[in-house]
């Protein structure tokens, strides 16, 4: 790591675990943190804004982005594509901004292969029962979609060992506190601070 490089933070976990809520709180509290807007082929939910919550693209447009190598990662989830455009992430990191990606586990593992020095955090629900209740309460999906999401969640939880940290999102303030503590600790790693004494020894 060089002086001035930002920290790439990857937050993932089952749909309904509360990743979006935690992201919003972190962005509110951390002025140097920048949200990486993902692209998706799914339909916008009520109140979602193009370029703020997602870049909404057709399947053909998304596949063109894949073909051109314009995505840091991408995955198909419940019949829709999701992915992270590369340019914005690299530009922010080089400028010294910390970048947070809120993505599914498939995408997180792709990012880990390409950017192993990133910080990978798994957001877990208190239980699968609690997860089911959260998704139903959201009221945005049909029962068959919810069933697929819960089945996928069981598979995703088995990927915990691929991550650096796990945060159980039971109470949002407590979970946010843990996330902020993890970020501070990560920035104090020796390997991220090797530049400190370079000039003295050169």
Quick check: is 74 in a domain? no
Domain that includes residue 142, residue range: 8-36+97-201
Task: Give pLDDT, residue 5.
Answer: 83
Strand (E) or helix (H) holding 174: helix 172-187
Quick check: is 103 in a domain? yes
Number of domains in the chain: 1
The answer to whether the CB of 145 falls within 8 A of the CB of 42 is: no
The answer to whether the CB of 115 falls within 8 A of the CB of 103 is: no
Quick check: is 112 in a domain? yes
- Measured CA to CA, the distance from residue 50 to residue 53 in angstroms comes to 6
Quick check: is 26 in a domain? yes
- For the entire predicted model, the pTM comes to 0.81
Quick check: is 121 in a domain? yes
CATH number at residue 161: 3.40.50.300
- Measured CA to CA, the distance from residue 69 to residue 89 in angstroms comes to 14
The answer to whether the CB of 39 falls within 8 A of the CB of 71 is: yes
Quick check: is 145 in a domain? yes
Quick check: is 62 in a domain? no
Kindly list the strands in the beta sheet with 98-102, ordered across the sheet, starting from the edge strand earlier in the chain.
33-35, 98-102, 8-12, 119-124, 165-168
The tally of CA atoms less than 13 A away on the side-chain side of residue 104 is 19
pLDDT in 10s for each residue of the chain, 202 residues: 444 589 999 999 988 888 999 999 999 999 999 999 889 999 998 989 998 889 999 999 999 999 999 999 998 888 899 999 998 898 889 999 999 999 889 889 999 998 999 999 999 988 888 888 877 877 677 888 878 888 888 889 999 999 999 999 999 999 999 999 999 999 999 888 877 776 655 5
Quick check: is 104 in a domain? yes
CA 16 → CA 20, 62, 178, distances in Å?
9, 24, 19
């Amino acid at each position: 790591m060089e002086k001035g490089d930002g920290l790439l933070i990857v937050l993932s976990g089952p749909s309904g675990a509360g990743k979006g809520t935690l992201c919003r709180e972190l962005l509110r509290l951390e002025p140097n943190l920048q949200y990486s807007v993902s692209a998706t082929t799914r339909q916008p939910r009520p109140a979602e804004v193009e370029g703020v919550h997602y870049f909404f693209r057709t399947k053909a447009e998304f596949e063109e982005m894949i073909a051109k190598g314009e995505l840091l990662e991408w995955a198909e989830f419940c019949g829709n594509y999701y992915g992270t455009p590369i340019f914005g992430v690299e530009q922010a990191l080089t400028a010294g901004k910390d970048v947070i990606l809120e993505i599914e586990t498939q995408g997180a593992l792709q990012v880990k292969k390409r950017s192993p020095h990133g910080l990978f955090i798994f957001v877990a629900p208190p239980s699968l029962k609690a997860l089911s209740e959260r998704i139903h309460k959201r009221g945005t999906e049909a029962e068959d979609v919810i069933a697929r999401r819960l089945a996928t969640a069981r598979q995703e939880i088995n990927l915990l060992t691929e991550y650096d940290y796990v945060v159980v999102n039971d109470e949002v303030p407590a979970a946010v506190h843990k996330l902020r503590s993890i970020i501070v600790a990560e920035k104090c790693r020796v390997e991220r601070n090797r530049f400190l004494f370079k000039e003295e020894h050169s």
